[in-house]
Structure formats: structure tokens, C-alpha cells
């Protein structure tokens, strides 16, 4: 690939020159044209060397960039395209190019929820249409988790802008357990996504206490005329280093948690760690079971992850985490006991 954009400028300039059939182009002419183009685009006055342009011509002739330009020398002096209709700007994309672009388009479309990326979204849509027309439609080969029409998603754009502008907010918030909304005067700092739900992190104007508010529970947002304050204890870049999920108090410290996993579950846990702090403590060579440890903040999301493994794991320590899991699993089991006792025998 070209080392920098100046190389691309030179390739395009040489291409434009050789497409002009009404002029004879010597090597010196091409050097002068490239030097002028670099000056116009980048303001670089030192010019381009003969050796650089010779190397550019060789690169354009080769298949390293996929150009394979039919550049020939005639009369032992002048350069031209052997094919009058050739241009590096008219080259068809290879199948690999199509595949790479399709994947890039699929990924960029995940930014659709943000107004700030509206121009990108428009470009992506047009590029997607162009690729479909050029290469023939095919089924998607990349699929991302997303929930269409997710409640609260409309707040992403205004909240993003408020955070950028450091605007203090009045938020009316109604949790699942509340009967009526509660007012928060908040300094907003960060938007975070977890399992297709978005959360706003900010500090209370009263005491800088950190809150995380689910966007789908926010009923209204409006700016207030109150000076914005940063929270010196909240580092948005590293705040979640020791967290699974979004629930964490600023003063909460991580705990070392050890758990045993069956041989089958260990295979998955090895290849997809629960957290970046995960370590393999020991492995049983007889049955393949393993003991792992992670160092994280204990929160609801952590328990939710453990619950998802069912009988595939067992918490070893600390005791409070082990007891909590034991109690919850007993509650879950009791639901099935009740179902068995009350089930209609004819069902």
C-alpha cells in the first residue's frame, strides 16, 4: 500500500497526465506535474524527485495495488497508456475489495443511533446501494445484536450533545419500582451501552454522588442554568476496568472471586473470559474441570453472568458471594417444586 497520501496524489496526477492523449509526456513533465500537485494539495515546495516518479510508475504497472497500469514508453522518451481507455480511477473492485467493504458498511451502520454520524450514515447507505448494484445482492454475513425501536434510544443524540457541551441537566426518572418520577439535577459525563441498554452516568449537583440512569426509564431531559462540575473521582476511561456491567459505586473496591467450572463450561470460559482479570488457578487432569479467579466489583450483573452458567459453575469464595448464589438457586428450584405440586395430572 502507498506510504502516505502524497503517493496517492502522485498516482492520480500521473494517471491524469497519461489520459491526456493530446500531449506528449516526458519523465520530466510527469515530475513537474507531480511537484505542482503536491504543492497545491499540501503546500510542500521541495518538489518530487525523478527517482520517486520512476518508482511510482513501476508501482502503478505492478499488481501490488491492483492497478496493473499499461504504461509504455514510445520514441524512447515519452510515456502513455497502451490502452487509451485505461484509468486507475475506473478500475473494478476485486471480490476481496467487495467483501471488505461490505463488512465495513455493516459495522458502520451500527452508528445509526447517533445524529453526529448522520453524514456517515448517508455515505454508508449510498455505498451499500452501490455495492449491491455492482456485485449483486447477497445475504448478510455479519450480524450484530440490536433491538429495533429500543425505548430511550431517542435520547442518545441530545444527551451526547449535552455531555460535549458540559451542560447541567434536570432529568425526570422513573425506575421500575417507583410509583412516580424522581427529579435529578445531574452533571452528565458518559453514555455506556450494556446488553442493548444504554445508561447515562453523571453526578448529583448536591453532593457529586455518581448515578447511572437507564435511558429507557428517563421520562424527560432539559438543560438548567447551573454551572457544570467535574467529578474528580470519576475517570470515564478506567472506571469500568474492574466491572462486569454498569453497576458500581465510586468507592467500591473489587474482590477476588474464585469459582469452579465443569470441563464443558471451562472450554468456553477459557476462550471467552468473564473479565480481563480472569486467571486459571488450576485444572483437574482427571475430569477436565477448572478453578478460575477474577477480581471485580460485586454487583447484580456479576451474579447474572454466574446464573447464566447454571449447574456448570460453583462459587468457591468469597463466602457472601457463594451464599448469595446458593440462596438464589434454591429460590429458583423452589419455583419448579411448586409447579410440580400444582401441575394438573392431565396436562
Would you say residue 140 lies in a domain? no
When pLDDT is averaged across residues 257-263 and rounded to a whole number, the result is: 96
Would you say residue 184 lies in a domain? yes
Strands of the sheet containing 255-261, edge to edge, are 279-283, 290-296, 255-261, 313-317
Quote the domain boundaries for residue 177: 153-223
Same domain, yes or no: 264 and 335: yes
For strands 218-223 and 169-173, give the pairing. Answer: antiparallel
Distance CA 273, CA 18 (A): 56
Same domain, yes or no: 100 and 85: no
The pLDDT of residue 1 is: 38
**99 falls in which pLDDT band (50, 70, 90)?**
low
Would you say residue 322 lies in a domain? yes
The pLDDT of residue 136 is: 53
Four-residue CA torsion sign, 168, 174, 177, 178: positive
Residue 120 has pLDDT above 60, yes or no: no
The pLDDT of residue 107 is: 61
Whichever domain contains 328, its CATH number is: 3.30.70
The pLDDT of residue 127 is: 59
* Range list of H helices, 20-72: 27-42, 50-61
Would you say residue 335 lies in a domain? yes
Per the structure, the count of domains in the chain is 4
Percent of the chain residues topping a pLDDT of 70: 79
Same domain, yes or no: 261 and 325: yes
Lowest mean per-residue pLDDT among 58-62, 70-74, 332-336: 332-336
How many Cβ atoms are within 10 Å of 84's Cβ, its own excluded?
9
This prediction has a pTM of 0.58
Would you say residue 241 lies in a domain? no
The angle at the Cα of 97, spanning 94 to 103, to the nearest 5 degrees, equals: 145
DSSP E strand boundaries for the chain: 71-74, 78-81, 169-173, 182-194, 197-204, 210-214, 218-223, 255-261, 279-283, 290-296, 313-317
Q: CA-CA-CA-CA torsion for 25, 26, 28, 31, nearest 10 degrees?
A: 50
pLDDT digits (tens, 9 = 90+) for 187-209: 999 999 888 788 999 999 989 99
Residue 305 has pLDDT above 80, yes or no: yes
Same domain, yes or no: 9 and 86: yes
When pLDDT is averaged across residues 11-34 and rounded to a whole number, the result is: 92
**3 falls in which pLDDT band (50, 70, 90)?**
very low
Same domain, yes or no: 186 and 199: yes
The chain-wide mean pLDDT, for the chain, equals 84
Same domain, yes or no: 114 and 166: no
Residue 337 has pLDDT above 80, yes or no: no
Q: Grid coordinates in use for 254?
A: 473489587
pLDDT digits (tens, 9 = 90+) for 132-188: 555 555 555 555 555 555 677 778 888 888 998 999 999 999 988 888 999 999 999
Would you say residue 71 lies in a domain? yes
The helix or strand, by DSSP H or E, that contains position 99, with its residue range, turns out to be helix 95-108
Would you say residue 177 lies in a domain? yes
Same domain, yes or no: 17 and 84: yes
Same domain, yes or no: 37 and 109: no
Would you say residue 234 lies in a domain? no
Amino acid at each position: 500500500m502507498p506510504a502516505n497520501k502524497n503517493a496517492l496524489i502522485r498516482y492520480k496526477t500521473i494517471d491524469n497526465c497519461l489520459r491526456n492523449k493530446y500531449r506528449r509526456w516526458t519523465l520530466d513533465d510527469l515530475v513537474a506535474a507531480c511537484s505542482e500537485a503536491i504543492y497545491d494539495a499540501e503546500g510542500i515546495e521541495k518538489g518530487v524527485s525523478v527517482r520517486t516518479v520512476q518508482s511510482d510508475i513501476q508501482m502503478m504497472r505492478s499488481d501490488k495495488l491492483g492497478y496493473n497500469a499499461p504504461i509504455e514508453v514510445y520514441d524512447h522518451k515519452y510515456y502513455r497508456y497502451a490502452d487509451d481507455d485505461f484509468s486507475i480511477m475506473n478500475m473494478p473492485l476485486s471480490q476481496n475489495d467487495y467483501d471488505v467493504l461490505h463488512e465495513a458498511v455493516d459495522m458502520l451502520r451500527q452508528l445509526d443511533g447517533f445524529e453526529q454520524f448522520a453524514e456517515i450514515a448517508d455515505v454508508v447507505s449510498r455505498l451499500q446501494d452501490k455495492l449491491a448494484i455492482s456485485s449483486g445482492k447477497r445475504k448478510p454475513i455479519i450480524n450484530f445484536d440490536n433491538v429495533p425501536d429500543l425505548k430511550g434510544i431517542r435520547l442518545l443524540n441530545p444527551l451526547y450533545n449535552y455531555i460535549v457541551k458540559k451542560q447541567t441537566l434536570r432529568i425526570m426518572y422513573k425506575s421500575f419500582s417507583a410509583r412516580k418520577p424522581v427529579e435529578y439535577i445531574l452533571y452528565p459525563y458518559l453514555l455506556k451501552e450494556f446488553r442493548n441498554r444504554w445508561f447515562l452516568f453523571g453526578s448529583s449537583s448536591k453532593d457529586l454522588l455518581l448515578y447511572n440512569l437507564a435511558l429507557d426509564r428517563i421520562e424527560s431531559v432539559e438543560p438548567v442554568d447551573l454551572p457544570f462540575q467535574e467529578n474528580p473521582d470519576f475517570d470515564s476511561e478506567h472506571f469500568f476496568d474492574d466491572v462486569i456491567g454498569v453497576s458500581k459505586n465510586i468507592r467500591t473496591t473489587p474482590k477476588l472471586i474464585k469459582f469452579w467450572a465443569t470441563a464443558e463450561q471451562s472450554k468456553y470460559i477459557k476462550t471467552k473470559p468473564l473479565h480481563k482479570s480472569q486467571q486459571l488457578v488450576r485444572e483437574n487432569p482427571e475430569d477436565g474441570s477448572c478453578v478460575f479467579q477474577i477480581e471485580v466489583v460485586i454487583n447484580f450483573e456479576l451474579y447474572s453472568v454466574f446464573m447464566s452458567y447454571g449447574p456448570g459453575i460453583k462459587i468457591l469464595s468469597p463466602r457472601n458471594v457463594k451464599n448469595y448464589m446458593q440462596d438464589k438457586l434454591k429460590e429458583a428450584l423452589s419455583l419448579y417444586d411448586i409447579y410440580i405440586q400444582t401441575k394438573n395430572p392431565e396436562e
